Amino acid sequence: MQPYKFSIVKKNYFEFTTTAGISYACFFISYADYFKDFKEVADSIYSVNLEVLGKNKHNVALDERTGLTIVEILKSFLSKLEEAVVYVCDNSDGRELLRKRKFDIWFRKYDDGTIIKVDGHIVIPNFDIYNAILIHKDNPNKNRFIEVFTELNETSNEK
């Protein structure tokens, strides 16, 4: 099985279309504000976002190549060995645990060992925030990225 062909529309912004005609955008936004107390790595941390484009937002079919393509985009983004990516499961509709499980399945199934994934979980009143940090295994700052991610999750749970 091959990933869908994806294109780089602009810096940190990728798009692809499935055989069912569903178009996706996968993009990376600076997460520096959340890590402002860790100046040595803040500018190298991004969030990953996935969005269904167009009118087919509610007709998204199960398609294994979609997960494979997203993992390939993540590997491409992290291959520079400079950045880390934080994945936060959207909790606006109460389906955050389903999103976490789906991402975990994709990651287990399609990662070839080049990406390190560390899960986090923040509990605040009325919300569970499932998140993870993704780092290339050869990133020279991987240990520091993991330390600050873990610390941020732990201090958020203490509030």
115 vs 95, higher pLDDT:
115
State the pLDDT at residue 127: 77
**119 and 60 in contact (C-beta within 8 Å)?**
no
- Domain containing 47 equals 6-158
Asked if the structure places residue 1 within a domain, the reply is no
User: Mind listing the pLDDT tens digit for each residue in 34-70?
Assistant: 899 899 999 999 999 988 888 765 666 678 899 899 9
Q: What pTM does this model have?
A: 0.86
Asked if the structure places residue 19 within a domain, the reply is yes
Is residue 159's pLDDT more than 60?
no
State the pLDDT at residue 81: 92
* Residues 133, 117: Cα–Cα separation, whole Å: 6
Cα torsion angle, 56, 61, 15, 99, sign: positive
Is residue 103's pLDDT more than 90?
no
Q: Which amino acid is at 100?
A: K
Asked if the structure places residue 127 within a domain, the reply is yes
Residue whose pair of structure tokens reads 């990516």 in the numeric block: 85
The enclosing domain of 104 has a CATH number of 3.40.630
User: Mind listing the pLDDT tens digit for each residue in 105-114?
Assistant: 888 888 889 9
- Tally of domains in the chain: 1
State the pLDDT at residue 55: 72
Mean pLDDT for the chain overall: 87
